[in-house]
Structure 1
Amino acid sequence: MVRRLTAGWCRVVAATRHRLLPGGGERGGNPVELAVALPAILVMLFASIQVAVVFVARSTALNAAQSAVNAQRLYDAPAGTGEDRAVEFLEAAGDWLVDWDEPGPNCTATDTDVTCTVSGRALSVVPGVSFAVEQTAHGTVERWTEP
């Protein structure tokens, strides 16, 4: 009787041993899961960083265009004042916007309005990926008017 009970107990222990061990029958599965998931995680990480860089480049271009408009719209501002202010801003802003100097900022002024455009490319985090950025600002020229 003791012998039967011991043999039965050994079978129960052997059957449950695999379930009680950490990881059970899937020991070593975590590195495989990581190897499968890591490329997707890295792609999402770099894509989100690239999207953020594009938005910062757009903001930089828009701020440069607004600075140019604010300089060019002043009363009796000489021609080229807006472009000079945009160049100063972009040189101080860093490299978020690249190739902005390859037509350079462009301001068009009439008797009543000023429009300035800044264009370039966003800094590339992912090699071979390039995003064009162009932002335009508009303002009214300060002038004397009759009441």
Structure 2
Amino acid sequence: MRVAGRRAVEAVRRRLVPGAADRGANPVELAVVMPAILLLLFGSIQVAAWFLARSTALHAAQSGVNAQRVHDAPGGAGVARAQAFLTAAGDWLADPQTSCVDGDDQVTCTVTGKPLSVVPGLSLTVSQTAHGTVERWTEAGG
């Protein structure tokens, strides 16, 4: 009678303990889902790095325009200021290239570079442009 009672108790325990029959299923499920989780994780980090590089390029271009649009600014002041900004900002933008075009009444600076790559084999390019009006003296008409 004792053996039958123990068997009955063991059968009830197996039914009451959740997942007792599915031992080892969690590691298999994790192995199936983990590549997707890692892809989402690295993808979100790559998107964040792209946005940071884009923001850095835009602020460098705006800084270059602000330096070049000043009344009687020397040639190359915008490029120098944009490069100084990129140096101070760090390495968010790899291989940056800066160009500023000074027209009659407009200044345009463009900063191009590559964001940091977290995903192997992925090569992105970021390019941002800023425009501004050149400061000049005017005389009041009277």
Provide TM-score, normalisation by structure 1.
0.87
C-alpha displacement of 1:111: 2.0
Of the three residues 23, 41, 44, the one matched with 1:27 is 23
In structure 1, distance between residues paired with 2:118 and 2:4 = 64
What's the counterpart of residue 39 of structure 1?
A: 35
In structure 2, distance between residues paired with 1:7 and 1:91 = 80
Provide TM-score, normalisation by structure 2.
0.89
Which stretch has the larger CA shift, 38-47 or 16-25? 16-25
What's the counterpart of residue 112 of structure 2?
A: 119
C-alpha displacement of 1:145: 1.4
For residue 74 of structure 1, give the secondary structure of its aligned residue in structure 2: coil
Tell me how large the CA RMSD over aligned residues is: 1.8
Cα-to-partner distance string for 1:54-108 (whole Å, 9 max, x where unaligned)? 00000000000000000000010011100011111111211111111xxx21111
C-alpha displacement of 1:118: 0.3
C-alpha displacement of 1:15: 3.7
Of the three residues 50, 54, 74, the one matched with 2:50 is 54
C-alpha displacement of 1:22: 4.4
Amino acid at match of 1:143: R
For residue 52 of structure 2, give the secondary structure of its aligned residue in structure 1: helix
For residue 57 of structure 1, give the secondary structure of its aligned residue in structure 2: helix
C-alpha displacement of 1:17: 3.0
Of the three residues 103, 109, 130, the one matched with 2:102 is 109
Of the three residues 115, 118, 123, the one matched with 1:130 is 123
From the CA coordinates, give the structure whose radius of gyration is larger: 1
Amino acid at match of 1:59: S
What's the counterpart of residue 18 of structure 1?
A: 14
| Aligned residue pair count | 140
Amino acid at match of 2:51: F
C-alpha displacement of 1:14: 4.7
What's the counterpart of residue 81 of structure 1?
A: 77
In structure 2, distance between residues paired with 1:86 and 1:11 = 80
What's the counterpart of residue 144 of structure 1?
A: 137
For residue 131 of structure 2, give the secondary structure of its aligned residue in structure 1: strand
C-alpha displacement of 1:10: 5.9
In structure 2, distance between residues paired with 1:82 and 1:97 = 18
